[in-house]
Amino acid sequence: MKNSLIMYLVKQDLIDSYSGSILGGLWSFIIPLVNITVFIVIFSKIMGAKLNVLGVDFQEYSYSIYLVSGVLAWNYFSNTLVRITNIFNEKAGLITKVNTNLLVLPLYIIISESVIFFISMSFFLLFLLIIGFPVTKYWMVLIIIYFLQSIFAYGLGLFLATLSVFIKDISEFTRVIVQLWFWFTPLVYVMDILPEKYKIIFELNPMYHIVNAYRDVIVRSQLPDMYSLSLFFIFSMFLFLCAVYFFRKLEKDIRDFI
């Protein structure tokens, strides 16, 4: 499968799906912008002063910064995961007609969601610069975190996508799990409010480490915990390889079954 085809699918996803509307591809920018604005405006006014949890007190925006830094990364992850899970069913029309590399196909979703994520992060960065929040050189590390997170989403997504060809319910099941997962990851709340004995359970959640790494860089202006990131990397690679192996085993059946 050629790169140009992947890029075409991305373009179709981001721009062509809005064709016919007046603003067209601009909608891909408007939606994340509105999201961020809502988070910042609502939560800074309503909850801003009530939480002082960051170690960094930044006026009424403290909570908004904490929230947005985690939620953007989470949205990228959850959208990618849910969409990859359904990819073989969604693109069945293509897969059954044209010789497609099924391992490469999910890349278009990763790229497409990455573009949205990147746009969102840019808006967020702009906001931080406007309010004078410190933006440090550690932001460079975000690229590594982003890559790790993408490998994890691809591996898990591919595994679920393979299953969902045979069990259609997997697709809906993933949506539900992602909803629960959201609340079991400290995105809207802080770890400190949890009883000490439960913290260990939360730390088994891979996404906790990713979200935490983003916050280390963005909110706390420090290097993320490299030890937990290394563990996350090993775990993601393991999952990735297992998923590819599992997929290869079943590829023939996937193609038959779609």
Site of interaction with other proteins (CB under 8 A):
2, 4-5, 8, 12, 16, 19-20, 93-99, 166-168, 251-253, 255-256
184 vs 235: CA distance, rounded Å: 19
- 92 alpha-carbon distance from chain centroid: 24
88 vs 102: CA distance, rounded Å: 8
CB-CB contact of 161 with 84 (8 Å): yes
- Smallest gap from Cβ 146 to other proteins, in A, equals 27
Measured from the CB atom, the residue of 34 and 92 that comes closer to other proteins is 92
Measured from the CB atom, the residue of 95 and 211 that comes closer to other proteins is 95
- Smallest gap from Cβ 249 to other proteins, in A, equals 11
Measured from the CB atom, the residue of 167 and 234 that comes closer to other proteins is 167
Measured from the CB atom, the residue of 2 and 197 that comes closer to other proteins is 2
- Smallest gap from Cβ 4 to other proteins, in A, equals 5
- Smallest gap from Cβ 236 to other proteins, in A, equals 25
Q: What is the CA radius of gyration of the chain?
A: 19
193 vs 40: CA distance, rounded Å: 22
CB-CB contact of 81 with 157 (8 Å): yes
